Every structure is written in structure tokens, then in C-alpha cells.
Structure 1
Amino acid sequence: MRRLSRPAAIRVGDRVRSAGQVRAVLAVSARAVTLAEEEDSPREVPLAVLLGDESFEVLSSPVRMPLPPVSLLEALPEHAREKALWWEGHILEVLHGVDPNAGEDAGPRPEYDPARHSLTARERAKAAELTAAGYQVSVRIGNFRRRYQAEGLLGLADRRPVRKKPQFGTVDDSVVEAMRQAIKEGIDDSTRTGTYIIWRTGEILRENSETVGLPSQSTLYRLLAKLTYGKPVSATARNRRSRAHGAKTPFGQWTVFAPGEVVQIDSTPLDVLVRLDDGVVGKIELTGMIDVATRTVPAAVLRPTTKSVDASVLLARTLTPEVMRPGWVDALRMSRSVLPYRRLLDINERLEYAAAKPVIVPEMIVCDHGKVFISRNFKASCRFLEIDFQPTHKASPFQKGHVEKMLDSVGTLFAQFVAGYTGRSTDHRGRNLEKQPLWSLPELQELLDEWLVATWQNREHDGLRDPLHPGRSFTPNEKYAALIEACGYVPVALSAEDYIELLPSTWRAVNDYGIRIKRRTYDAPGLIRRQHSGVVEKKGLWEVHHDPHDISRIWVRNHHGEGEWIEAAWKHLCHTPVPFGELAWDHAAQGLPKGTEAEIAEAAAALLTRAHAGPAQAGAGKPKKRTRRERQVAARTKATPPIPTPAPVTEPNPAPEAVAEEEAPLAKVIPLGLFDPLADPWKRS
């Protein structure tokens, strides 16, 4: 089908070409056009037949011009726009006879009346008028009129200030290419200034035997600014590499419809000083995972140096429920959150005491090329769990941007509130941080776990929005609950045996006192003591699996049996015959009503306050006086922390808290009787 250039209109008096002949238009109606014949009487031609003729053409009617780019006027200077508007008023009076600035009832002035004067006469009249007013425009009126009819208001403007110029001015192309090469060489090098790039440009020209001379320093700096626009050479090395190796095509979009469909994992140093097991103050690394569909952080672990076994432990934690810890407020329970607790409880009874963080079962894990994640250990764990392992392209952090942003948010929303915060670089680091009350690694891990449940999972995320209501954003827990309804996702968590298999292993001898790992002694009645395990390659030692983030217990494989696991607890957890951890749990639950958003917000605020204060130090002041019942619950709860710290065997000097207790009135001593597990611990006799 041929492409027609339609005229603006067909008017009486126009001359048209039809059927190979030129004819005049005598009459025009909605359905037909009357054309004059040279010898015969006028002939009426249907409009559809006339326009469908291959040779049809209007000879005397101007073709409609395309709309001018009026928005380009905004790029012109103000004085150029004002002058164009001034000219428009005069040109419109020439074309139509009426000044546009005149009143509504104003008619054309005699010298500009189209019925009395031709267009040329009106142009002469306007030129005489403006010349009398002091403007030299005698031959420019016709030019302005034609430019206005072709380009509109933009044709009357002076476009010299925005006229397109050569991109690099008069600089020789060889100089431009040499500077581009110098910039490219410095992508993976340390950060240098523009002075080095200009010097290197001259060296490259000499190496290539170019005879062209370098322009002035100011010209070279302007050229450098143009070539490095948006990616300056003086930026940080990390930022420069990221931009240089970034995507060259439009960014794609993850298409995820269910929790766990795509999970990203990464590690980064955490800007917090901690006191390690040997008493040395040092920095640690944070390894975390994030679910792209819900922005849930299934697990995050802290280690002095991340190893491949830590990534496997992180994977195991992702696939198991987060258990409530003593001291957490009751509002953090899964049963009091927006998560579909009842439906999930029917699938996994372990969720009865779980915190308000969903269990995510990954289908695909996206990671970078760090040695931790491409190790044989981590790949074997992914194969065991039937998880697709998908590394990104090298030097492409944008391909796992969700976890990169999450790790950065942890530093902004959590780490800076913690005692011992160092800042992101040495320029932001304070003084005497080592002298502050610093958290131990297990204590800081527990604070991070509580913050993820209390704050992150209940914080609205800008990337979680309802497509039909973009103004509404969801929290990770709300998005998880919504996707459960939409896709019918069923999280099948790891069994206890599978979880233990993913933990790092070591080989130890079983002595009379039990097993010792990192100066902690673990014991259990079922251990087979002082016997050869039967594993000749390990010289009779026993296989022991342990969680580096939970030092309360270990698991020993029974090589003499069916390979079942024997759980051994840290000996300091076995000093009391009563389950005081549950006792403290119930005591805290009695003082809290049904969970609300206010309780969660209060718990998150209290967590940051506690993290900022650091652990209790000797001589920190007299503690707040508590009731006898609260002192009992607190003392018994300290005996069973989820991630305890080793306590000294003897204390030569009494602690300040003990002195405070002695100053308080002593209650009547009641001997501890036999423990009845069926009795109500709160019932008073």
C-alpha cells in the first residue's frame, strides 16, 4: 500500500491532478468534489474515488507541515524567547490582519486588511511601520513570515546560543583517543588525579609517534571532564570499577513469583569492633542472604573471617525456623504476626515457638565469585538440597543488587547504633574505640538476630509495592503472607538430622570429662568414652558437628551404632535441675497483652538502645532495684542463654551486682525441693 502525503485541505479554486489531467475545483461537499472539465460540463467525482487515485495531487494547496518542537524554546535564553514572542505578534498581524494583543472586538487595521491588500503589500506595510519605530527590518519580514509558517515560534528565535557544536571542539582526534586510553588503563588501578591522566595522555602520544601537540592545560581539563562525565577518575576505586564493568545494555528485571525462587548471598566487613574469644579486639564479617520476592533476610551470621563452612551454616539456618530467645518480647512470636501461622503450624510443629520470620527454601542461589561461595563445600551443600547454583558475571555486583543493598542497610540501620562502631573508612573512625564496652561475637550475633526479627521483617520496603496501588508498600512479612495466598508456596524446612549434617565438622577424642572444643567442655550421658571410634583414617577420633554461631551444644556421630547423632551440651548449661529458660519465657509473657505494632516498635527501639550501651561493665553504677521474683527469673535465665559466653569458674572479688544484692533486705531462705514437671510453677502453696 502506497504512503500518501495528505494536503491540509481541498478548497474551491485549488488546482488538482486527477486521472493524469489538471483540473480546477469548483465545489466541495462531504461526499464529492466538483471538477471543471476543459470542454465538457463540470463533473462530480466521489471523494473516495478522488483520493484513491494514484495520480491525485493538490498543486496549489500547501501540504500540512509537521508540528514544530515548541518545547525546545525552554532551552533558549530568556531574552531570545522574549524576542521571538515579540516577532510573533507582528507576523500574525501580517498573516491575519489583526494584532493578537488587541481586544476581542478589534478589527484589522486598513493597511493589514487581507480583503484589501495582498500578503506582499502587508509585509511592506509592516516593514515601514517597524522602520519608522527604529528597527532595521526592511528585507527580513518575508523571511520571518516563511520561517514562522514552517517552524512556528521556534523559527523566530535566535538559536545561536544552543547551536550544536563539535563534541570536543577543535581538539585533534588523536589526543582524544590517547586520553581515552589513559582513562581505560586506570580502571583497575588505584585512584589518581586528572594531572596523571593528562601526563599519561602525552606519554601515549609519544609512544605512538604522534606529531600533534597537546592543547593548553585548561583545554585538556575540559576534555577530561567530557570524557569522564558521570564516572570521574578521582572517584573511589570500587565505584570506578563498578561503573566501568557495569551493564552496557538496559537493566533486566528478576521475574519472581514465589518466596525462595531467587535468593542472593554475599559477605561484607561489618563496621563494628568486637571482643573475640581470646580477648583480642577485632573486626568481623557479615554474611547474609535475602529473598528477592519478599526481601526477607532468612539468615545472617557474623564471623571473624568468613569461610566456606560458614556459608553452609548460613544455608542451614535459612532452612530452619528462627526460635524465640529468652528476653525477646512476646510480640516477636510468629503466632502474633501477619504470617499465616496456623496454616504453617499444621505443616511443621516446630513453628509453635518460632519467631516472626518466615522459613525460606531457596530454589536458586545467586552469588559472586568469592572463594567462600564457589568452594566445593558450598556447592556440595547446594547439590544436596537440590538448589540451583548461579554465579554472577565477574565484576558485576549489580547482578545481585538486592543483597548488596541489604548489607549496606544493615550498616546504616543497625551497625551504627552498636557500641564500637568504626564508620565505613578510617576518615570516619572515632578515637579510643577499643576502650568502649565492646560486645563479644556471640552477643552481637544475638542482637543482630533480634534486630532482623523486630525491625527488618516489619519495616516497609520500597521495592515491595502493590501493582494496583503503587502508593502502598509492604513489609517482608506482609509480602510473604500475600505470596503464600497467591502461589500456594509451602516451605518444607530441614529436619534436625539434615541441619546437623550441614554444620562444620571436627574430630575429637571422647574423654572421661567429655569433649573439649575451644576450651569449652561438652558432655552427655550417651557418649562412648575412651574408646576407638573405628575410623582408622582419623586415628580413632569421633566426628563432631558444631554450630559456630551457637556454642550451647554439639553433636557426636555414633560410629558404633547406626550413625545417629548424640547431642552433648555445654557443661555450664547443666547446673540447674529446673527448666528456667521456659520459666523466664512464661514470666515475660504474663506482662504483655496481644502483640501490636507499638510493641514491636518499642522492642526495636529498646534493642538499639541496648546495643549502643554495650555490655554491662564493672563499676558501671548501681543497678536498678528489682523485685525478688524478677531477680530469681533473671538469675535462672542467665544460666541458659541461647548463645552463652563462658563464665569464670571462681570470682575473687564480688561483682557490683552481688554487692547491691547484699545491701537489699534478705528474704527468708526456702530450700529447693524436688522438681515436678507437671506442677504449675506459678502456683503458690
Structure 2
Amino acid sequence: MDDGRQRSQRDDLKDHDLTRARIRMAHLLEVETGYRSGSRYWARPGEPRPEYDPERTTLTERRRAKVAELKGMDHREAKQLGLEWISERTLERMAAKYAEHGLMGLADGRWTPPLRGRRAITEEVAEAIPAVHAECLHRSKVSMRTKERLVHQYVRERFGPEVKVPHYTTLAKVWKEWFGTGGARQRYVRSAAAVETGTAIVVISRPGQVVALDTTPLPVKVLDDVFGVPISVHLTLALDAFSHSLVAFRLTPVSDSSVEVAMVLRDVLRPLPMRPDWGEEMEWPYPGVPAALVAEFAGHRVAGLPFFAPETVTTDHGSVYKNHHVVSVARTLGERAAAGALNAPDRQGCLRTGLRGDPVAAAGNAARLPGG
């Protein structure tokens, strides 16, 4: 593009937005040619309609007829098409955009992402902004005005005073687009920048290959069974990435702890026993694996909750997941372990347990863990 900005493509539109853009195009082509397809060779039944017949009406008359037609449309339908406010001038602008950009010229700006790239950001300025960002990581938190002065200083020292630097507002917008709002604490920003993200693509092909752990505050109060008062609890979940099934969960009063995370890991490997008041619909339902066989391994009737030996457990950077207790639990659960991931789970965000063999036996080992 002449202005250095990348315009939206058809792939940027969702299916329903693409359909709406095509309906807008049909209305416009009926105004311009008298036919919704744009040609008399692909005329639909009843076309051209009398008020849009190109041999009997002018373009201005057809635009006025289309304005009247769209204003008589149900307001909700017109709003879905982005044509709730329509005029002859609107149709003129739509025709000009269609002639220049085709179908994407008719897509409402609310349906497409903003234009990417900025004409004012030259190669020199694009080099200066990341350099200043890297410099600011090792300082106390500074204002955007200070960052602007550092960008000016970098450009002058490296490329000379003749290189033009954009205005402060443009730099602020670009900084926000590239690095976020900057509302986090400086030490957290440094920690996030220090993480080396992996580039390998993991293809998940079986249950237990990847299990994700996460903790969130429960949005409702829970009644304490000791004192009978409502208390806040945290919900810790274990989700199997292959089947998207919930394999274990824990409710922790007040806040989560490393012991509860370790217990969730144990619950992933351990079959859930049936309770006396549970009906047959709660019993082991998985086809291909007889319930009697699983009950023989576990020593009790098994409820219908998945269990397996996880090979990789992924977490976020919460302190409970970086605790030495959780790391030691992951080491004990696995016959083999990736020491780099276990020694630095806060950088990798992953604990590799490397479990192999019988999950029921592994569950028995987990039960003997500290806090198990």
C-alpha cells in the first residue's frame, strides 16, 4: 500500500460478517446495474424490478428507491447489515469503495480489525522503539514522556538529526500496540520478558499427554460445614488437553496452596471410588475397558471420572505451582523427569512427570507423598 499500512483481507472477516458484506454488495449492485448479481446474464427471477430497471430509471432514481426500501426494512435487520442510517451519499461512498477495494470495501469497519502498520513509523524508528523498551526493562518504571525522549535520543545518536520521529501521541499508540498498556509492575514485566517461549508445536494425540492445571477464585460463597458461615474458596482444576475432560478438581478454603495442587496431581492418577448413595449411572462408563477389570486394579468400584498417568503437566506462573513441594511431588510421581523443567517451573511453565506404566500403581505411590 502507498501509505505503508496493511488493509484488511477477506480472511479477517468471520463467516457471518462475510455473509453480511455480500448482502450489502447485492444491494449496491442492484442500485448500480439493476441486478443483484451485477449482470443481466445472471438475473434472478423478477429482475430487474421496475424501480431498478436501468433502461427506465437513472442512477439517482435507483439510489432514492434503495434508500426508501432500506428505511422501510425492519430496524434490527438493517442494523445487522450496518445500514440503519442510509442516504444517497452513503450509497455513493459505498460504490467508490467497492470500485477501489472490491467486497472488502463494503465491510463495516466494526467487522474488521484496525489497519496494521503506521506510515510514520520508519525503519529507524521501528529499530529505536524495541531498543528503548529493552533499556527500560532494567530501570525503574518511567513515563511515556521519558520513553519518547529516549527514542529521540536513540535516533539522533544512531541515525542523525535529519531522521524524523513521530509525534508523542503516535509513539504512545504504537508502544501500547507492541508492548501493552504497561500497567504491570516493573519486576513482573522483566520476568515476562526473560521467559524464552518455545517454538515447537506439540501435537496432542492421546489422553494424558498434556494436563493443564489452573486455579481461580470461585465466584460464589461456600457454606462452612464446621461453623456454618459462608466462606470464599479457590477452585483448582486439572483438564486433559486431548479429551477436554475435567479429570480432577479441588475446592480450597480462603486461598490455594501447594498441598492442594499436589493432591490434584494425585487425584488425576487415582480412580474415584463409588460412594454408597451413588446410583449405577455414576459407575465406570467407558467402552472397551470393563468396569470389573478397573475395580480389580483399584480394589473398589470406580466412578466415571477419567484417570491416567499424565506425561506433561502445564501450569501458569503462580507461586503455588513453583513451590518446591509441588516440584518434589512431580519428581516422585514420575519414573523419569525433565530436570530443567522441574528445577525452573517458573520459566518453563511446565512440569514433565514422564509417567509410564500402571496408573493405579502410580496412584498408590502418590498416596504416600507428603500431604497425600
TM-score (normalised: structure 1): 0.29
- Higher share of residues assigned helix: 2
Q: Relative contact order (C-alpha < 8 Å, sep 6+): which is higher? A: 2
Structure with more of its chain in strand, by fraction:
1
- TM-score, normalised on structure 2? 0.47
